[in-house]
Amino acid sequence: MNSTKVKKFVSQNSIWVVFLFMVILMAFLSPTFLTAKNIVSVLTTESITGILTVGVMWCILSKGIDLSPGALVALTGVVTASLAQKFEYGASRLFPNLPDIPVIVAILAGVAVGTLFGVLNGWLIAYTKIPAFIATLGTQLIARALALLYTNAYPIPELKPGLKNVAQRELFSINGASVTVVIVIFIVFAVISGFMLTQTRFGKSIYAIGGNDQAARVAGINVEKNLIKVYTWCAFCASVGGVLLAARSGAGNASVGVNYELDAIAAATVGGTSHSGGVCRISGVIAGILILGILKNGMMLLKISPYLQQVCKGAIIILAVVFDMRKNAKKA
């Protein structure tokens, strides 16, 4: 492999070079970082954010944004939890003749509620031409308010074991560290999203829309229809994340999910998804998720102030965007 090919390979995979550097650095700074328990903990913690990220990245790819996923996590979680409480604690108290609701029905109901917000987001952006930032900010506020109204700001505990197992079930262990199903679900979503990006007409259409929506129209792409699909997929990912968070914590809570969308946007941005539209690689996005997860975990191990952690995260996001802008300017 000659030097030109090496430079090209490093340039295309620079995000993974950064990832390896961070792993080596953290392993040097903290002896507990590379333990199986800590690695599995990072993967488990970042899995829900990762599922949100593989949804949000589609919005950014289409030259849009979605600020509602965090609120949809909360709304989906409380709807699912309210229908999946243990029978003696749930709706049977008010309606004694109501049959016990299966866990799968509770999950589908919660996911359906969240996904409908995605359809609404897509329709508003595609047909009313409201900027994506404003449209999704509005639906974020609506979804959060509905979650609080639905629960009166009280948590919903005493969930059925069947729902808890959706996220807490142990598949196997590595040196005493339990690998739960939530990690596998994240991997499945990442694979599906990557397949849609590279192997489907839908993925190629979104690349085209993000690059130049007018040129995409000329090429015969239905921009409005595809935008609705993008925001529906993003909301679906957030809804699944909400179900998993409720299952993992053992309760539905209307106050959870705050700033989750910002973490997802940050991970997608660090992973190379361009806010100018039309540029995204699923491998880079996964690296972005892991880099921010390692950063958060590493600073916790080093007992760095949580406020300083936010400063570091913000600086990384700014640098990632500046790098992306400079790269696009060079191409132009």
Over 90: is that where the pLDDT of 93 sits? no
Over 60: is that where the pLDDT of 53 sits? yes
Over 80: is that where the pLDDT of 12 sits? no
How far CA 142 is from CA of 114, 137, 138, 145, 240, in Å, comes to 12, 9, 6, 5, 19
How far CA 308 is from CA of 256, 296, 297, 299, in Å, comes to 22, 11, 13, 9
Residues 297, 41 contacting (CB under 8 angstroms): yes
Residues 278, 61 contacting (CB under 8 angstroms): yes
For the whole model, what pTM was predicted?
Answer: 0.93
DSSP assignment of 192-238 = HHHHHHHHSHHHHHHHHHHH-HHHHHHTT--HHHHHHHHHHHHHHHH
Which pLDDT score is estimated for 10? 65
CA distance 143 to 139: 6
Look up the CATH number of domain 34-325.
Answer: 1.10.3470
β-pair partners for 255: none
CA distance 106 to 160: 11
Residue 128 or residue 18, greater confidence: 128
- Residue-wise pLDDT for 246-286, tens only, equals 999 999 999 999 999 999 999 999 998 998 899 999 999 99
Residues 284, 273 contacting (CB under 8 angstroms): yes
SS3 at position 66: coil
Categorize the per-residue pLDDT at 92 as very low, low, confident or very high, splitting at 50, 70 and 90.
very low
Over 70: is that where the pLDDT of 96 sits? no
